[in-house]
Amino acid sequence: MPSDAYNWIEQSLATIHKADWYRTVQTIQGHTGAMVQMNGRSLINFASNDYLGLSSDDRLIQAAITATQKYGTGSTGSRLLSGHRELHRELEYAIASLKQTEDALVFSSGYLANLGTVSAIVGQRDLILSDQCNHSSLKNGAILSGATVIEYPHCDLVSLQTHLEQQRDCYRRCLIVTDSVFSMDGDLCPLSGLLDLADYYNCMLLVDEAHATGVLGKCGAGCVEHFDCSQRQLIQVGTLSKALGSLGGYVAGTKTLIDFLRNRAPSWIYTTALSPADTAAALTAIQIIQQEPERRQQLWRNIDNFKLLIHQLSHLKLLPSDSAILCLLLPTAADALIAARHLQDAGIFAPAIRPPTVPTSRIRISLMATHTVAQIEQLVDVLSAIKIVSTTSSKSVRGDR
Ligand SMILES: *Cc1c(COP(=O)(O)O)cnc(C)c1O
């Protein structure tokens, strides 16, 4: 009898299609900056996390080439077994100095940093309180840890406190986890309120600075610096792949924490070290974000300008945001796909984000320091022609979560 054990895959795909949730990858040609080449056309790029335009910066490219020539392409094994290069430690010291922490540890991606850290610091006897809108890597790290997980409503300190009041004493350790800039909405976590609750209820706090590093804070250290909380005790994770234009992730915190993770985080211990090229590019990026605050200032001028222009169009509503991520809500997944197609036809690359990634479909716009005023005006022109019949306000959508 022929085996049909795999038939479910086709059926499952058909269901995904039916819900307008089916995803495909678009092929990009050449460098990705404020413009991208797609299908032989030039599009203005609002789909990139390369907030400062560093991924095509000559200095990062040269650093990657030099490191490859000096050390080769691969790092040949895990750091504990095969040893690491001084570059790896230099990068970790640079991250620690940016974040004003005692030490840092780099992982092969931000996703792995979150999986490894969360699952190393809590276990079955512990409690995780997790913002409902957290990144997938935090949610899966929580599952992997075996701890009891409670999701609290988005940024809701009152609800979080109620859970702590009722549950904290039933567990050994407690970890509160949150994105600092929420990756699909662009709003910020209430950091100092979270820190106060963590202190009062004897909890650890882990914040994911993936979309904040290089973007927020006077020195570009992120949301923790932005809210003036660098001196308070917490665990910071993030990525080297967004504003830093490279690849990899990191954890920054006390010496003891980092030492513990080197001994207990499987997604660091049992995986190959970051490549020399990625390590060198990230190290150069950190130097640039510290030495060239004008890039961050230009990014914020672009954000403010875009918000101002959209504000003048009364039929378009952006989700509240304090970052370079700006979202336009649409009533259905199909509407979001039509809008994304319309944008692409008009020379603009901005993705539709649909369930299950988010509860409400939207066009997600990422601004970069390297966008020109004219490019942002063109985006607003094209957006203004989108017909939106949404009856849902951003407030009620938030409440629904
Ligand atoms: C992108 C992202 C990650 C994952 O980082 P990678 O380095 O791309 O794996 C983790 N957390 C958040 C909030 C992110 O946006």
**Domain stops at, among 257, 291, 325:** 291
Q: Is the CB of 111 under 6 A from ligand 1?
A: yes
Q: How far is the CA of 245 from the centre of ligand 1 (A)?
A: 13
pLDDT below 70 — which residues of the chain?
A: 1-2, 388-401
* Structural domain count of the chain: 2
CA nearest 99: which of 251, 284, 274? Answer: 251
| Residue 11 in domain | no
Q: Whose CA is closest to atom 8 on ligand 1?
A: 110
Q: How far apart are CA 333 and CA 180, in angstroms?
A: 26
Burial class (CB in 10 A: 0-12, 13-18, 19+), 23: exposed
Sign of CA dihedral 88, 240, 64, 116: positive
Q: Is 103 found in the same domain as 244?
A: yes
pTM of the predicted structure, to 2 decimals? 0.93
Note the pLDDT tens digit of each residue in 336-359: 999 999 999 999 999 999 888 888
Whether residue 243 lies inside any domain: the answer is: yes
pLDDT score for 388:
61
What CA dihedral angle connects 371, 372, 374 and 377, to 10 degrees? 50
Q: Which of 291, 320, 340 is the last residue of a domain?
A: 291
CA 61 – ligand 1 centroid, Å = 22
Q: State the distance from the centre of ligand 1 to the C-alpha of 110, rounded, in angstroms.
A: 5
Domain extent, residue 207, equals 58-291
221 and 145 assigned to the same domain? yes
Q: Is 3 helix (H, G, I), strand (E, B) or coil?
A: coil
Our answer on whether the CB atom of 245 is closer than 6 Å to any ligand 1 atom is no
| Protein residue closest via CA to atom 14 of ligand 1 | 210
Pairing of strands 103-107, 127-131: unpaired
pLDDT score recorded for residue 397: 38
Question: 159 and 306 share a domain?
Answer: no
Task: Provide the residue type at 384 as one letter.
Answer: S
Helices 293-311 and 373-384, packing angle to 10 deg = 30
Distance 384 CA to ligand 1 centre (A): 31
Give the C-alpha separation, 132 to 207, whole Å: 14
User: pLDDT at position 57, please?
Assistant: 96
Check whether residue 30 and residue 170 sit in a common domain. no
Nearest residue CA, atom 7 of ligand 1? 110
In a domain, 20, yes or no: no
pLDDT value of position 39: 87
- Kindly state the DSSP code that residue 57 receives in the 8-state scheme: -
Q: Which of 88, 106, 102, 45 is nearest to 261 (CA)?
A: 106
Angle of helix 58-71 relative to helix 276-291, nearest 10 degrees, comes to: 150
* Any ligand 1 atom below 6 A from CB of 110: yes
Cβ contacts of 119 within 8 Å, gap of 6 or more: 141, 144, 145, 146, 265, 266, 267
Confidence (pLDDT) at 132 = 96
Q: What is the CATH number of the domain that holds 206?
A: 3.40.640.10
210 lines ligand 1 (CB under 6 A): yes
CATH code (residue 336):
3.90.1150.10
pLDDT for res 401? 29
Ligand 1 centroid–CA 135 distance in Å is 7
> CB within 8 A of 213, min separation 6: which ones?
98, 220, 221, 222, 238, 239, 242, 243, 244
pLDDT at 32: 87
